[in-house]
């Protein structure tokens, strides 16, 4: 999943200019770190009890970076939709994704409209000379409301006023684009209510609940009534889905299919309404097909090459890490035949093992951070697990940058951080980014990482 850190600083690096302005600003405004933390809490930018952003600098990308990410990410999202259609028609292809029986049953229910993933996200590492994607979150990923709010807060920092004298700055209206995508899926489904009544559906005790409140407020300001509902709050009377005494037209589904399978009684109203085509649900249950990490094994396995054009196969080769489902089989590694288990054991320093269907870094084993005996034990777990499939994936380059970090409120130091750069795709179109920082090889909020806003910046021309 990762290799040695790569830094990318130029003589006119916006990150360095920001840091220089920040140092001067902190001398004038020593309360800036404390003020930032207060604003984050007031704006519900918390994950459980922790603030999302203990950092005092955004992530900057260039317009050229943005376009490079856009073209590749949108292609991968389109390939995800193509694999959904193909897998539902081809049992051999479907079997390569290793969905559980109940997940397959849900995926095969008629969805009533075309797109499996209204909202999705790719996890990427963006470097000057490469762009690699580690996985695809095809199932209503979190964070868009947080990312947009965080960008607004950073735009108001005193550092930004000075910085923007030299740079033009673009941020991303994620909630508006998400709402547009949801309503477009509702119209495709055949919905006619204008505006539709939306329900954001997930468990009331999830740590991302504060994001639902952010999105509800923003959707309602855009004129679309929205409620937040626990799956247990839903009722289906055979004709309509009801939450809090309100008929629901459109479900923005944040409750995971894993939970729907694990808690069928609690989620029965949602599944019954979906089955009866009584409500539009986005993402559909079919999104599980490209969501599992075995999706990258489908993309990179030569046996599936006929699904993709020559240009698409080249894009996959350049941007998707070689991936296989862990099993005792003979396969290929960039055209060379290998016995997979022997290859995994031999190439520990260049491989990562992870469950095909987990999140938050659960179960991930980085071979280069693991000794031989622990690696052998991880291979054993991958082969013997009864309730899931594991994948092996090649190590890919990572990006690291130095960020100002609020160690204690009032004290700022500088830390070298891994940068996980994750484009959001709404109905397959790039909408913005989730940018996570970590000191370790895993970059996600659930494993203790932090988040910063992403801005596309370009240097203003010097007046003549």
For residue 411, name the pLDDT band (cuts at 50, 70, 90). confident
Q: Does 309 map to a domain?
A: no
Q: Does 67 map to a domain?
A: yes
In 245-293, alpha helices (H): 257-262, 268-275, 288-291
Q: Does 311 map to a domain?
A: no
Task: Please give the Cα distance from 156 to 50 (Å, whole number).
Answer: 22
Which pLDDT belongs to residue 2? 38
Task: Please give the Cα distance from 388 to 377 (Å, whole number).
Answer: 17
Contact 166, 451 (CB under 8 A): no
Q: Does 134 map to a domain?
A: yes
Q: Which residues contact 309 (CB under 8 A, 6 or more apart)?
A: none
Same-domain check for residues 162 and 60: yes
Tokens of 100: 């559980």
Same-domain check for residues 372 and 441: no
Residue of 56, 128, 179 lying closest to 421 (CA atoms): 128
Tokens of 258: 């894993």
Same-domain check for residues 20 and 123: yes
Q: Does 299 map to a domain?
A: no
Percent of the chain whose pLDDT exceeds 70: 94
Q: Is the bond preceding 283 in cis, omega lying within 30 degrees of 0?
A: yes
Which pLDDT belongs to residue 24? 96
End position of a domain, from candidates 394, 414, 432: 394
Q: Does 365 map to a domain?
A: yes
In terms of residues, how long is the chain?
464
Q: Which residues contact 293 (CB under 8 A, 6 or more apart)?
A: 135, 323, 354, 355, 356, 357, 391, 393
Task: Please give the Cα distance from 393 to 132 (Å, whole number).
Answer: 12
Residue of 217, 242, 245, 295 lying closest to 44 (CA atoms): 217
Which pLDDT belongs to residue 449? 64
Strand 226-229 to 198-201 pairing: parallel
Longest pairwise C-alpha distance within the chain? 70
Same-domain check for residues 29 and 168: yes
Same-domain check for residues 405 and 353: no
Give per-residue pLDDT as tens, 186-220: 999 999 999 999 999 999 999 889 999 999 999 99
Same-domain check for residues 382 and 434: no
DSSP sequence for 290-341: HHSTHHHHHHH-GGGGGGS-HHHHHHHHHHS--EEE-SS-EEEETTEEEEHH
Contact 103, 288 (CB under 8 A): yes
Percent of the chain whose pLDDT exceeds 90: 87
Same-domain check for residues 90 and 143: yes
End position of a domain, from candidates 394, 425, 441: 394
For residue 440, name the pLDDT band (cuts at 50, 70, 90). confident
* pTM attached to this predicted model: 0.93
Give per-residue pLDDT as tens, 33-88: 999 999 999 998 987 678 889 999 999 999 999 999 999 999 999 999 999 999 99
End position of a domain, from candidates 342, 368, 394: 394
Q: How many domains does the chain have?
A: 2
The continuous run of DSSP H or E covering 63 comes out as helix 63-89
Q: Does 304 map to a domain?
A: no
The enclosing domain of 335 has a CATH number of: 3.30.1490
- Domain carrying residue 373: 322-394
Q: Is 419 helix (H, G, I), strand (E, B) or coil?
A: strand
DSSP 461: P
Measured in whole angstroms, the distance separating CA 158 from the mean position of its chain's CA atoms is 30
Same-domain check for residues 337 and 252: no
Same-domain check for residues 49 and 115: yes
Q: Does residue 9 have a pLDDT over 50?
A: no
Q: Does 350 map to a domain?
A: yes
Same-domain check for residues 170 and 223: yes
DSSP sequence for 323-389: EEE-SS-EEEETTEEEEHHHHHHHTGGGEEEEETT--TTTT-EEGGGS-HHHHHHHHHHHHH-SS--
For residue 408, name the pLDDT band (cuts at 50, 70, 90). confident
Q: Does residue 8 have a pLDDT over 50?
A: no
Same-domain check for residues 413 and 376: no
Mean local confidence (pLDDT), 281-309: 97
Torsion of CA 384, 389, 393, 399, to 10 degrees: -110
Same-domain check for residues 382 and 419: no
Give per-residue pLDDT as tens, 102-116: 999 999 999 999 999
Residue of 52, 96, 75, 24 lying closest to 294 (CA atoms): 96
């Amino acid at each position: 999943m990762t290799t040695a850190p790569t830094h990318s600083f130029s003589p006119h690096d916006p990150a360095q200019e920001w840091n220089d302005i920040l140092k001067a600003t902190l001398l004038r405004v020593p309360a800036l770190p404390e003020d930032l933390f207060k604003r984050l809490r007031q704006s519900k930018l918390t994950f459980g009890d922790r603030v999302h952003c203990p950092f005092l600098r955004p992530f900057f990308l260039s317009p050229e970076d943005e376009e490079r990410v856009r073209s590749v990410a949108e292609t991968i999202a389109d390939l995800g939709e193509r694999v959904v259609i193909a897998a539902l028609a081809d049992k051999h292809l479907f079997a390569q994704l290793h969905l559980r029986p109940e997940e397959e049953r849900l995926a095969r229910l008629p969805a009533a409209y075309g797109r499996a993933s209204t909202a999705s996200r790719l996890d990427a590492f963006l470097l000057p000379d490469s762009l690699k994607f580690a996985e695809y979150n095809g199932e209503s990923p979190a964070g868009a409301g947080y990312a947009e709010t965080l960008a607004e807060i950073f735009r108001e920092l005193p550092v930004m006023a000075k910085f923007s004298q030299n740079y033009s700055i673009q941020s991303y209206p994620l909630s508006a684009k998400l709402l547009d995508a949801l309503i477009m899926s509702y119209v495709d489904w055949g919905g006619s209510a204008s505006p539709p009544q939306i329900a954001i559906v997930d468990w009331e005790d999830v740590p991302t609940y504060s994001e639902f409140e952010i999105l509800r407020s923003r959707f309602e300001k855009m004129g679309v009534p929205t409620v937040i509902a626990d799956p247990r709050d839903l009722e289906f009377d055979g004709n309509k889905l009801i939450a809090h005494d309100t008929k629901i037209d459109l479900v923005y589904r944040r409750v995971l299919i894993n939970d729907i399978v694990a808690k069928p009684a609690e989620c029965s109203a949602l599944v019954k309404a979906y089955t009866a085509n009584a409500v539009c649900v986005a993402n559909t249950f079919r999104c599980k097909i490209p969501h599992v990490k075995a999706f990258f094994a489908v993309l990179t396995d030569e046996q599936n090459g006929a699904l993709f054009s020559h240009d698409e196969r080249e894009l996959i080769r350049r941007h998707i890490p070689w991936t296989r489902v862990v099993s005792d089989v003979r396969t290929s590694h960039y055209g060379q035949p290998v016995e997979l288990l022997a290859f995994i054991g031999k190439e520990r320093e260049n491989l990562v093992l992870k469950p095909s269907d987990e999140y938050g870094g659960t179960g991930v084993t980085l071979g280069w951070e693991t000794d031989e005996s622990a690696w052998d034990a991880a291979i054993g777990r991958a082969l013997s697990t009864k309730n899931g499939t594991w994948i092996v994936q090649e190590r890919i380059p990572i990006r690291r940058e130095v960020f100002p970090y609020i160690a204690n409120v009032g004290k700022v130091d500088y830390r070298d951080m891994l940068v996980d750069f994750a484009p959001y795709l709404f109905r397959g179109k790039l909408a913005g980014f989730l940018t996570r920082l970590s000191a370790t090889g895993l970059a996600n909020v659930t494993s203790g990482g932090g988040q910063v806003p992403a801005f596309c910046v370009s240097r203003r021309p010097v007046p003549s």
